[in-house]
Amino acid sequence: MKNKLLFLFLGILITSVICASCETGQINLNTASATELDRLTGIGPAKAQSIIQTRPFASVDDLLKVSGIGEITLQKIKDQALACVEDSPKSVSNENLISETIIETSQYSNEDILEPIIENTSEAPPLIQSNSDDVELIISDTKGIKSEELSENNQKTGFYGLFLFALLLALLFTLKYLFAKSKKENEFR
């Protein structure tokens, strides 16, 4: 019975570690820039670029797929506890997008690129060219944009923490009951 409870407790503990999301200050391997990845132990600019090209990762252990990262480097990164992997929608990193755009546009000269733009602007209707209305963009709460996402994440984390705390209490009360019961059976009366 004790072994079953121990395995149950370890199962819950391992599940909570596996399902953990990135905490504030941790580096998400699927979305981090090369400079952020450079903060990881054993990762330089070249390996950071290799990590970006190998994305997406399902876990930190997937770093072994990156050329130049072996078991020792992976263990150092895990010991640092700064890297994490969070599910994110498939997206192209800005650095990859910029480098692809530069490669695509480097084939053309400035005249090739500017000529169609100049032709299109000269044919614009006069109403659009003579628009004199001023548009003022007011952003009243810039902190609210990211904080809504963070507050949802904090609520989920709080719920999971409360659930694990309740399970831990139930486990402790069960163990106390079992030990008290076995102690009563062994005493002389």
10 Å CB burial of residue 47 (0-12, 13-18, 19+) is buried
For position 22, what pLDDT does the model report? Answer: 76
Q: What is the pLDDT of residues 86-98, one digit of tens each?
A: 865 444 455 555 5
Q: What angle do CA 147, 152, 153 make, to 5 degrees?
A: 95
Q: Residue 81: is its pLDDT beyond 60?
A: yes
For position 91, what pLDDT does the model report? Answer: 47
Q: Select the highest-mean-pLDDT range: 54-63, 109-118, 150-159.
A: 54-63
**DSSP per-residue codes, 24-36:** TT-EETTT--HHH
Q: What angle do CA 130, 133, 135 make, to 5 degrees?
A: 135
Q: What is the pLDDT of residues 108-118, one digit of tens each?
A: 666 666 666 65
Pairwise pLDDT comparison (94 vs 139), residue with the higher score: 139
For position 92, what pLDDT does the model report? Answer: 46
Q: What is the mean pLDDT of the chain?
A: 74
* Residue 8 amino acid letter: L
Q: Residue 187: is its pLDDT beyond 80?
A: no
Q: Residue 166: is its pLDDT beyond 90?
A: yes
pTM recorded for the entire structure: 0.38
Domains along the sequence of the chain with CATH: 23-85 (1.10.150.320)
Contacts of 45 (CB under 8 A, 6+ apart): 34, 38
Pairwise pLDDT comparison (60 vs 105), residue with the higher score: 60
Q: Residue 83: is its pLDDT beyond 70?
A: yes
Pairwise pLDDT comparison (152 vs 92), residue with the higher score: 152
Q: Where does the pLDDT of residue 82 fall: very low under 50, low under 70, confident under 90, or very high at 90 and above?
A: confident
